Each structure stands twice: as C-alpha cells, then as structure tokens.
Amino acid sequence: MKRNEQKEITRKKIIESAFIVFEQYGFENAKTADIAKQAGISHGSIFSHFKSKDDLVKIVIKEFSDELSLTLHQQLSKNRTIQDYLMSIVTIFEKHEGWFRNILIEKSHYEVVNMEYAELQYKISLHFYQMLKKEYKNVNLNGYSFIYNLLMGMLLQYILNKEYFVENIDELVLSKYRNEIVSYFTEVVECFVKRYGG
C-alpha cells in the first residue's frame, strides 16, 4: 500500500473515532488521547493529520454536515412526500441524538462548534426550503423560515430536555416520539400551505 493511501486511511480512522469519542464525552471534554486509543494509533499520529483538537472538531462536524447534506439531497431527488422527507430529518437526528445534544450544549461556549453548527443549520434549512418548493410549487414560501425554525425548535427541545420525555436517560427520545413529531409537523406544513395558497 502506498504511503498516501495509508495516510488517508489513518486520517479517516481518526475522524470516525473522533465522532464516537465526541458523542460519548462531548467536544470540550474529549481528549485526543482517547481518540487515538479508539482509532488504535499513537497519540502523536493525530497531530500529523490535524493541527489541533479544534481543527479535528471542525473537520468532524464538517464531514458530518456534508454527509447529512448528501442524504437530504438524495431524499430530494426521489419522489418523496413531505411526510417522508420530515421522517428522514427526524431519523437523522434520532440516529445521532447524543451528538446533536453535545453540539447544542457546547455551541454557546465553544466557538469552533458554534461556527460549524451554523453551517450545519444552513444546509438543513436549504434542503428543507428546496423540498417545500418542489412539493408546493404554487405556494409563497416567504414564511418558510418560521416553519423550519418551529421544526428545529421542537426537535432540539426533545433532545435537550429528554429527561422530561423518557424514563430511562439512555433511551433515545426521538425514537419514542418520532411518529408523533412527523405527524404533527406534517399538519403544520399543510396548514402553512393552505394559508399561503397551495
């Protein structure tokens, strides 16, 4: 195997391991030594691939953001209903619930997390707008940001305050409420469409 190929494999392994460690310990509390251990490499190897822990945090969130964006784009290219699309968004959040919780908790005091979170929100918002535009061609979408913010607010409320919604803190709150959230939110979108001429 060529040196460049091995370097890329190691880099990818570090990113995947960092994702796991950041979800488990949070971005601020995670140690690069724990990431190295998870990846099965020496601690120094991390810094031959990334300038700093902040650089690694930025790359991990960006890679996740790009993957999420690709998933949402693929959903858009299929003939999906609004309900299917909302289910995709909720399922993504559900799959990475702990990770999103850490982002939400730490974004207010960890600048790198906050900057990358803003980019992540932009990508989700853009795909949400494109989905509405595709589904409801004759609707004035000037107020779409209100329903997007309502959806995000609801998801984040469940994630950040899960102890009020589930008995076992290890339980995924969005697993329990996924269908209810999607059903309710589909109604919200339909009301928006009726109001603005769908």
pLDDT, tens only, 47-64: 999 999 999 999 999 988
**What is the per-residue pLDDT for 197?**
64
* Domains of the chain, first to last: 1-50 (1.10.10.60), 53-195 (1.10.357)
**What is the per-residue pLDDT for 183?**
94
pLDDT higher than threshold 80 for residue 198: no
The string of pLDDT tens digits covering residues 130-163 is: 888 888 887 777 777 888 888 889 988 999 999 9
Q: What is the mean pLDDT of the chain?
A: 88
Residue 198 to residue 196: CA distance in whole angstroms: 6
